[in-house]
């Protein structure tokens, strides 16, 4: 954001999601998928008088901007997806087409989040223990051994710690399930919004008009991949989560392949997209490969005016 603004060619808006940063904390209705956040973006655009603009979403933000494109496509000049979650949700699906592993989407939602991490987040832990926000950031968001400069790392950590760990926001309520791994998503909270029980963004392929799409991702993303270290199916397969029922019942979720299927359908329906894969890069290309991302993104935006 700062590098883009420094060019003097763009006006940048970087909204905090509800319950994060400086935004107010409002209940998150997970049964709407990520539509609460999409509608928040629409309200902001209306308030600022933004009739058309370019939209960039990273990780969960990628799902939010996909939903915005589904809901409000006429306002977009372009759409950039950086390491987005699968259009078919996070956890609980199998196959490129995103079929549910079981009817209640067991293994997705708030139960995926390590309870120790949640406690550390709630108390503002700035330490370096195994489940601390700092360690999670450095181990999973970047490709090790990359570390941000010390002052920048503290800024990133402060941002993470601004997440409101309260009922209805983060991570979300959990309900028991008879299906492995014996938890299912509740109806409130951020992490539950991306459960496939509530979110399916395959209709992105059908929107009109169709803004050009740029899809950016790193080769070594440990969070969003076809073998994600955050996916219950993969963790069961490698023995970290016990009781795995096997690949026929609950395989690792092919997150990248699912995104590609939807974008290929988008292209087949008359849209255009470009996939850019950055070598030796993790989940945060705009930090890890900032120069490359800045060049790729600005060329894409300038061609999409």
Q: Any idea where the domains of the chain sit in the sequence?
A: 2-303
Q: How confident is the model at residue 216 (pLDDT cuts 50, 70, 90)?
A: very high
Find the mean pLDDT for residues 184-192.
Answer: 98
Beta pairing, strands 99-100 & 76-82? unpaired
CATH 3.40.50.1820 fits 2-303, yes or no: yes
pLDDT tier, 297 (very low <50, low <70, confident <90, very high otherwise) = very high
| Mean pLDDT, the chain, integer | 97
- Segment 267-288, tens digit of pLDDT: 999 999 999 999 999 999 999 9
Reply yes or no on whether the pLDDT at 61 is more than 90.
yes
pLDDT of 305 above 90: no
pTM, rounded to two decimals: 0.97
The DSSP output letter for 258 is H
Tell me the mean pLDDT in the region 59-88.
98
Cα–Cα distance, 288 to 134 (Å, whole number) = 16
Instruction: Please write the tens of the pLDDT for every residue from 130-173.
Output: 999 999 999 999 999 999 999 999 999 999 999 999 999 999 99
Q: Which residues contact 81 (CB under 8 A, 6 or more apart)?
A: 57, 62, 65, 66, 213, 214, 215, 216, 259
Length of the chain, in residues? 305
Q: How confident is the model at residue 203 (pLDDT cuts 50, 70, 90)?
A: very high
Could you please report the per-residue DSSP string of 111-135?
GGS-HHHHHHHHTT--S-STTSHHH
Q: pLDDT tens, 225-249?
A: 999 999 999 999 999 999 999 999 9
């Amino acid at each position: 954001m700062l590098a883009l603004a420094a060019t003097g060619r763009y006006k940048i808006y970087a909204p905090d999601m509800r319950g994060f940063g400086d935004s107010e904390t409002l209940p998150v209705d997970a049964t709407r998928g990520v539509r609460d956040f999409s509608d928040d973006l629409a309200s902001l655009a209306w308030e600022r008088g933004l009739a058309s603009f370019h939209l960039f979403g990273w990780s969960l933000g990628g799902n939010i901007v996909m939903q915005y494109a589904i809901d409000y496509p006429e306002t977009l000049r372009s759409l950039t997806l950086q390491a987005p979650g699968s259009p078919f949700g996070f956890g609980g699906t199998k196959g490129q087409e995103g079929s549910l592993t079981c009817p209640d989407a067991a293994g997705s939602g708030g139960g995926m989040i390590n309870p120790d991490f949640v406690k550390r987040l709630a108390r503002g832990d700035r330490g370096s223990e195994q489940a601390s926000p700092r360690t999670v950031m450095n181990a999973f968001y970047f490709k090790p051994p990359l570390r941000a400069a010390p002052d920048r790392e503290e800024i990133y950590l402060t941002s993470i710690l601004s997440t409101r760990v309260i009922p209805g926001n983060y991570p979300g309520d959990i309900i028991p399930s008879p299906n492995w791994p014996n938890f299912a998503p509740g109806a409130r909270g951020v992490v539950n919004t991306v459960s496939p029980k509530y979110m399916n963004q395959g209709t992105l392929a059908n929107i009109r008009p169709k803004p050009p799409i740029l899809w950016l991702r790193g080769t070594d993303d440990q969070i969003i991949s076809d073998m994600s270290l955050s996916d219950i199916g993969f963790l069961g397969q490698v023995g970290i989560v016990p009781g795995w029922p096997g690949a026929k019942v609950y395989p690792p979720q092919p997150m990248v392949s699912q995104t590609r299927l939807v974008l290929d359908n988008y292209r087949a329906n008359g849209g255009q997209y470009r996939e850019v894969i950055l070598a030796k890069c993790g989940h945060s290309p705009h930090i890890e490969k900032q120069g490359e991302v800045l060049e790729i993104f600005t060329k894409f935006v300038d061609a999409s005016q």
